[in-house]
Chains A and B, each alone.
Chain A
Amino acid sequence: MEYRWNKYLTVKEEDEWVTLFNPFNYAMVKSPKKIKKRIDDELASEHSNFSMGIYKELLDKGMIVENDFREEQLVEALYIQNNHNNDVLDLLIFLTLDCNFACRYCFEKHEKVYIDEKMQDAIIKFVRKNIKSYGGLQISWFGGEPLLAIDTIERMTAEFKKICKDNKKSYLASMTTNGSLLNYDNYLRMKKCGVYSYQITIDGVKKSHDSQRFFRGGKGSFDIIMKNLLEIHKNDKTRIMSFMIRTNITKANADEVDVFFEFFDNLLENDSRFIHVPQVAWSGNDADTSLYYTEEVNGVYEKLSENLKRDFKDIDKVSENMAMVKLELVKARMKPCKSGKRNHLGIMPDGTLHMCEPHYNEKCSQVGYLKEDGTTEFNEQYIKWVTGAKERNRECYGCTALPICLSAACPYRMSIKKEKSACENTKESINQIISIFSKNEGTCPLIKEDEYGY
């Protein structure tokens, strides 16, 4: 049997060491360079001693594979498993287009449109008809500002929970909110509704945030959001909650991101439920000079990686088990965007179905509509979203990010707009994962020189 290295390994060299990362399973090993070199030589020759333990370990981790192994078939299997599974019915519900903010960059029009009872009932009927085919129900409340329709959330949740209970399915919800109405009372109401995960945007320190994200009357929103989050931090000890704090990075606030992270972490006493998610705001044109050009994005992410490492600053000190748990959390965050998944649908207040929130008002994202009886009708766009990644660009093959991105990291850019590459974020994340998790033997075992007869 002849063997070779897995084609998709990332190999990172540092001083006398080399770290290998397999993107198919996030397995890592760290070895002295000379051992790696010796394995290279043995794989090239026909006299390899594959009975040696080191090969068994590398084979088990999928780093060395049989010569006729086809990595691309594994990519296809992963793609089907990820994008065509029925583990959960995942609905994103636009409760309203209305919002109490008037953010400088917002893509929404904020019409005073709210989901009416007829459409609420249509969604409930849709869930009742379809839940049996899925493992559970996950609702993402979206808007506008979803907390402006808090009574509707409670009404619909009661129905969803009842359907799930009758069908022995799990129910969970998440919410994208601007945070201004998430006072402690509302937070507890939402907790009763199974909302366990939030995305809230804070665009840096008070001055930058308030210049981007303000109330309709122009008043800044930083203080009220921080007050709400601080109250939750102090009063609710549930560890299962998670708060993704998104920060849009522009040329205007890039230099002070560090200051904001430090301020935020100190105020919330490094509460690990609050996770920073910096997002580089980019544009290919000159419309807004504070946005980065597409070709600048990679560089900004590289600079940011040092900041991101703060979430894992003790990784070399935590137990091997805890490091593995943390890596699992990172893996969950690396999954391709749900806008290309067959179990995902966005529903507008008027029943229009779409696949991608930021582009919901573009024709290409509108894939059909929900009828009053809870049945759906899809148009020809739908198939592009859910199968587009199968017609991936040739450049994807051989890209070390493919087993993670599956050409579906951003279906809007990859399948719909047919951009050549949209995987900068995934590539940079792989670098971060290696750099962070190679420091703990639980996630990155060390191959020592005298082991295995070397």
Chain B
Amino acid sequence: MDIKEKILEIMDENGVEYEDGKLVTDLESLQFVSIMIALEDCFEITFPDDMIVLERFLYIEKLCEAVSQLTQR
């Protein structure tokens, strides 16, 4: 399963939806933190402070890019 597919699965499990690659769900703080923890756990990465912002979630491609970069560190 590639990164994007896995991220979308985690989003779906948390009731978060994307349409045409753009976030269409109002993200609650509980969802935000829960997803961050699930992403860190799944990809064995750590989000640095400057990545823990809602904007990272707005577009799925940007989020994939960030996760991909972190997995290579």
Q: Which of A169, A196, A237, A240 contacts B15 (CB 8 A)?
A: A169
Chain B 45-73: CB-based contact to A (< 8 A → 1; otherwise 0): 01111001100000000000000000000
Which residues on the B side are within 8 Å of A165 (C-beta)?
13
Count of chain B residues with a beta carbon within 8 Å of a chain A beta carbon: 21
- Inter-subunit contact B34/A170 (CB<8 Å): yes
Residues of chain B from 32 to 47 with CB closer than 8 A to chain A in the complex: 33-37, 40-41, 46-47
Which residues on the B side are within 8 Å of A171 (C-beta)?
34
Q: Which of B31, B41, B48, B49 contacts A170 (CB 8 A)?
A: B31
- Inter-subunit contact B30/A138 (CB<8 Å): yes
Task: Give the docked Cα–Cα distance between A171 and B28 (Å).
Answer: 12
CB of A207 within 8 Å of the partner chain: no
With A168-B12, A168-B13 as contacts: A240 and B36 at CB distance below 8 Å: yes
Task: Give the docked Cα–Cα distance between A196 and B13 (Å).
Answer: 18
Which B-chain residue is minimally distant from A90 (CB atoms)?
B30
- Inter-subunit contact B40/A136 (CB<8 Å): no
Q: Would you give the shortest CB distance from A223 to chain B, in whole angstroms?
A: 28
With A135-B28, A170-B28 as contacts: A240 and B33 at CB distance below 8 Å: yes
Which B-chain residue is minimally distant from A240 (CB atoms)?
B36
- Inter-subunit contact A332/B29 (CB<8 Å): yes
Q: Which of B13, B14, B29, B46 contacts A239 (CB 8 A)?
A: B46
Which residues on the A side are within 8 Å of B46 (C-beta)?
237-239
Task: Give the docked Cα–Cα distance between A135 and B40 (Å).
Answer: 22
- Inter-subunit contact B28/A240 (CB<8 Å): no
Which residues on the B side are within 8 Å of A192 (C-beta)?
41
Which A-chain residue is minimally distant from B27 (CB atoms)?
A170
Which A-chain residue is minimally distant from B13 (CB atoms)?
A165
Residues of chain B from 12 to 28 with CB closer than 8 A to chain A in the complex: 12-15, 28
CB of A13 within 8 Å of the partner chain: no
CB of A252 within 8 Å of the partner chain: no
Q: Would you give the shortest CB distance from A143 to chain B, in whole angstroms?
A: 23
- Inter-subunit contact B30/A196 (CB<8 Å): no
Task: Give the docked Cα–Cα distance between A88 and B30 (Å).
Answer: 8
Which residues on the A side are within 8 Å of B12 (C-beta)?
168
Which residues on the B side are within 8 Å of A240 (C-beta)?
33, 36-37, 40, 47, 52
Task: Give the docked Cα–Cα distance between A332 and B30 (Å).
Answer: 12
- Inter-subunit contact A172/B30 (CB<8 Å): yes
- Inter-subunit contact B40/A170 (CB<8 Å): no
Chain A 219-243: CB-based contact to B (< 8 A → 1; otherwise 0): 0000000000000000001111000
- Inter-subunit contact A168/B15 (CB<8 Å): yes
Task: Give the docked Cα–Cα distance between A192 and B40 (Å).
Answer: 11
Task: Give the docked Cα–Cα distance between A239 and B30 (Å).
Answer: 16
Residues of chain A from 129 to 152 with CB closer than 8 A to chain B in the complex: 135-136, 138
- Inter-subunit contact A135/B31 (CB<8 Å): yes
Which A-chain residue is minimally distant from B48 (CB atoms)?
A239
- Inter-subunit contact A136/B36 (CB<8 Å): no
CB of A87 within 8 Å of the partner chain: yes
Besides A135-B28, A196-B33, A239-B48, 16 more A-B contacts (Cβ < 8 Å) are A135-B30, A136-B14, A136-B31, A136-B34, A168-B12, A170-B28, A172-B30, A194-B37, A237-B46, A238-B40, A240-B33, A240-B37, A240-B40, A240-B52, A272-B49, A332-B29
Enumerate chain B interface residues (CB-CB to A < 8 A): 12-15, 28-31, 33-37, 40-41, 46-49, 52-53
Q: List 28 A-B contacts (CB under 8 A).
A: A87-B28, A87-B30, A88-B28, A135-B15, A135-B28, A135-B30, A136-B15, A136-B28, A136-B30, A136-B31, A136-B34, A138-B30, A165-B13, A168-B14, A170-B15, A170-B28, A170-B30, A170-B31, A170-B35, A172-B33, A192-B41, A238-B37, A238-B40, A238-B46, A239-B52, A240-B36, A240-B37, A332-B29
